[in-house]
Amino acid sequence: MNYMIINGGAYLGAVASPLKLTVRVPALQGTTAAPITVTARAFAASAYGALSDFAFTPYNTLTDTDRTALMDPATLMVTGIGTQDTNDGWSRAYVTSTVPQGRNIGVPDSPYRGARYAEVRVRLPQLPQGVQPQISAVMVERQTALNLLNHDAAYQLVSCCYTGSKCDVVLSGEQVMVGARSLKCVVTDTSGSGWLGPVPTLAALAPIKANSPTLSISGSVATPAAEQFVLKASFYDATRTLIGTQDSSMFATRGAFEWAAQSFTVRPPAAAVYASVVPSLQPSATLVTGTAFFVDALGIRYQSLRSVPPAMPGYRAARHMYIDLKANRVNLARNPSLTDNAPVCWLSHTPGSASTPAPVRSYAGRTRPGAAEYTATATVTTAFPDGTRIGLGSTVSHQSSATPLEIINLGQRHILSAYISEQAANTVPVRMFVEITENVPGKGIVRTVYRGESTAEVRAANPQRVEGGWVRISLAFTPPPGTNRWVSAWVGPDPSAFVSGATSSFFLDDVLLEEGSTLLPYFDGGNHHPDYLWENGDSSEHTRSHFYRERRTLQRRLAQAVGDHIELGTPYDLRYATPPRPLPQEPLPVQAGISR
C-alpha cells in the first residue's frame, strides 16, 4: 500500500495490491464554535477501473505519527458522494461530510474530541503492475451547515426517536454508516401503497425558524437488495400538528447493504416551526415481510437564503491571502543616505554649465559612509532669477526608479528634510527648495517653487538641529490636489546671493520625505533593527524605507488574531514594506516659467 502527499498533482507507482493515496489537509487545525462542513473533490484517471473507496477521514490529533480517528458519530455525517464530469479518461469524484465537533470545540457534553486534520483517500483496486494512474486537482471546501436534528434523531446515538409504519424499528449495530448504531427497520406488512418506514416521534422533530429559508434535507439507506425510496420531509406548527409534507425524487439503493445517500431542498410552509425527515420504502412485488433495511445520517440544515441551490463549483486552486501591513512611517526618498557611487538620481547644478550626476564621497557621511558633494564658485555679478537651480537637485522623471523624490498623496501635507555639512570654503548659507510642476489648463506647464529653511536660519533659531558639523534643514509643503504633479527638490545657495566670487561647498546626506507637518527623527531601512525595512527587501537601497514600531511583538499578535478570525486553513503572508499605492503617470513635463 503506497501513500503519497498530493501537491497539485502526482504520479503514483502502482503495485499489485490496492493503491491508496492520502493527503493531510491542515486546514482543519484551529478552534470553531460550530461544526464545519468540508467537501472534497478530486479528479482521477479511470482508464483502469472505476474509482472506489473515495473517503474523507477526520483525525483529532496534532501530529502525523499519532493520529486516531475518534470521530463523534453525532457530528460526522456523509451527505453526498458520487462521480461526475467524466471526460477524457478523467472522472471527478466528490464526497461531502460534516467534520466532528467534539467536546473541545463547543460541545462540552460530548465524549469525543473534535477533528483537527483530515485526509482525502482514494483507492484504485486491481491495477496492473507498472501502471501509473494520475490523481490531480484535489479540493477541500468549507460550508456552513449545522444539522438541526438532535444527535439521537440524526445519528441514533443513544435512544430511538422513531416508531414504524408497516415495520418494526429498533437501534442496531449490524450495519452502520457513522457512529455505532443505525436505525433497523424490519418489514411487517407489504400490502397497499402507504407509508412504509420509520415514523418520527416528538423527539425526532427539529426546531426551525418561522418563515424559514430553504432547508437541505438528507438521509442514507442500506438494503439487502435494490429498492426504491423517497425522503419524506414533514412540517409541524407550534403545537406540533402536522401541516404539510414534501417528498424527494425517487432514489434507488444498490443492495448488498451498501449505503445510498439522497438529499433535496425544500421551502417549509410559513407557519412551520418544526421539521422531520425519514425515508419511505416504496413496496415492490419482490418485497417480503422480514426484510430489514437500515437508516442513518438523517439531516435537516439551512441550505441558504437562495431559493435555487448553487451549482457545484469547478476546481479552484487553493486560496492564498496576502496582508499588506501599513507602516508607522515611510521615507519616500530613495537611497536617502547616499551610500554608494552608483547613480543616485541627484544632479549637480551650476549656472552656465550642463548638469552632471552628483558625486558621492564614501569618506563623508553623517552616520554611514556616503554623502553627495557640491562645490562651485560664482563668476557673475548679476543675480540669477528666482527658481534657478544651484547646488544638488533631484531629477524629475515619470519613471519611479529614476526619481529620488515623489508625491503619493496629492493634497496632503508633506515635509522634506536633509542634513547639510558646509565645508571650509563655503561662503553662503545652504537653503532647501521644492519645485512642483503641473499642467494647468490654459497655461500649460507651470512650475511652483517653495523656499525652505537655510543653514544660517536653523543655527540661529533651532540649535538643537545642529549635530557637530551637520545642520538639518527642512521644508513643509502641500502639493495642490486635482491633477498629477511631479515634485523635485534641490539644496544650495539663494540665487540672489550666488554672485561675485561666492562659493558654495557642502555635503548632502540623510534625506527624509514623508507625509505630515511635523519634523520627525530621520530613519532609513539601513538601520540594523527589525523595525526598519527597505521596501520589498531591496538591498541596493535605491528604494523607499519603512518603519514599523515594535514590529516583532505586533507580528506575533497579528498572527494570533489572524488565526482566530480568518477562515481556518487559509494560507496567508504578512507583507511588510510593500509599495504605496501608485499614482497614474503622465508624460514628463517640460519646464517653463515660475509662478509664486
For 222, what's the count of Cα atoms within 13 Å in the CB-facing half-sphere?
Answer: 17
Higher-confidence residue of 377 and 325: namely 377
Q: Which residues of 151-181 are buried (b: 16+ CB within 10 A; e: fewer)?
A: bbbbbbbeebbbebbbbebebbeebbbbbeb
Give 551-587 pLDDT, tens digit per residue: 888 887 787 777 666 665 567 777 888 776 544 444 3
Give the span between the Cα atoms of 54 and 467, in whole angstroms. Answer: 73
Least-confidence region, from 185-189, 522-526, 567-571: 567-571
- Which pLDDT belongs to residue 69? 46
- Which pLDDT belongs to residue 41? 44
Locus of grid cell 413496496: 283
Higher-confidence residue of 95 and 177: namely 177
- Which pLDDT belongs to residue 10? 32
Q: Which residues of 335-354 are buried (b: 16+ CB within 10 A; e: fewer)?
A: bbbbbeeeebbbbbbbeeee
Which three three-digit cell numbers place residue 537?
Answer: 527587501
**Confidence category of residue 36, pLDDT binned at 50, 70, 90:** very low
Give the span between the Cα atoms of 471 and 407, in whole angstroms. Answer: 25
- Which pLDDT belongs to residue 591? 33
For residue 512, pLDDT over 80 is answered with: yes
Coil/strand/helix, residue 245: strand
The stretch 113-134 carries a mean pLDDT of 60
Q: Which helix (H) or strand (E) holds 461?
A: helix 455-461
- Which pLDDT belongs to residue 192? 78
For residue 404, pLDDT over 60 is answered with: yes
Q: Rounded to an integer, what is the distance from CA 445 to the centroid of its chain?
A: 44
Give the span between the Cα atoms of 495 and 455, in whole angstroms. Answer: 15
% residues pLDDT > 70 (the chain): 64
Coil/strand/helix, residue 401: helix
Least-confidence region, from 86-95, 331-340, 365-374: 86-95
Q: Which residues of 401-417 are buried (b: 16+ CB within 10 A; e: fewer)?
A: eebbbbbbebeeebbbb
Give 200-235 pLDDT, tens digit per residue: 999 999 999 888 888 889 888 999 999 999 999 999
Phi, psi angle pair for 56, to nearest 5°: -115, 115
- Which pLDDT belongs to residue 499? 93
Give 347-365 pLDDT, tens digit per residue: 999 998 999 989 999 899 9
Give 52-72 pLDDT, tens digit per residue: 445 555 555 444 444 444 444
**Confidence category of residue 399, pLDDT binned at 50, 70, 90:** low
Neighbours of 559 (CB within 10 A): 13
Give 379-393 pLDDT, tens digit per residue: 998 999 999 999 999
Q: Rounded to an integer, what is the distance from CA 219 to the centroid of its chain?
A: 35
- Which pLDDT belongs to residue 574? 79
Locus of grid cell 432514489: 251
- Which pLDDT belongs to residue 19? 35
Give 287-329 pLDDT, tens digit per residue: 889 999 999 888 888 875 443 444 555 666 666 778 888 899 9
Q: Which residues of 461-482 are buried (b: 16+ CB within 10 A; e: fewer)?
A: eeeebeeeebbbbbbbbebeee
- Which pLDDT belongs to residue 416? 95
Give 429-468 pLDDT, tens digit per residue: 999 999 887 777 787 777 889 999 999 999 999 999 999 9
Give the span between the Cα atoms of 151 and 171, in whole angstroms. Answer: 14
Residue-averaged pLDDT of the chain: 75
Give 250-271 pLDDT, tens digit per residue: 999 988 888 888 888 899 998 9
Q: Is the dihedral of CA 233, 239, 242, 243 positive or negative?
A: negative
User: What is the chain's Cα-based Rg?
Assistant: 38
- Which pLDDT belongs to residue 338? 87
Q: Which residues of 304-324 are buried (b: 16+ CB within 10 A; e: fewer)?
A: beeeeeeeeeeeeeeeeeeee
**Confidence category of residue 378, pLDDT binned at 50, 70, 90:** very high
- Which pLDDT belongs to residue 23? 37
Give the span between the Cα atoms of 438 and 193, in whole angstroms. Answer: 87
Give the span between the Cα atoms of 520 and 513, in whole angstroms. Answer: 10
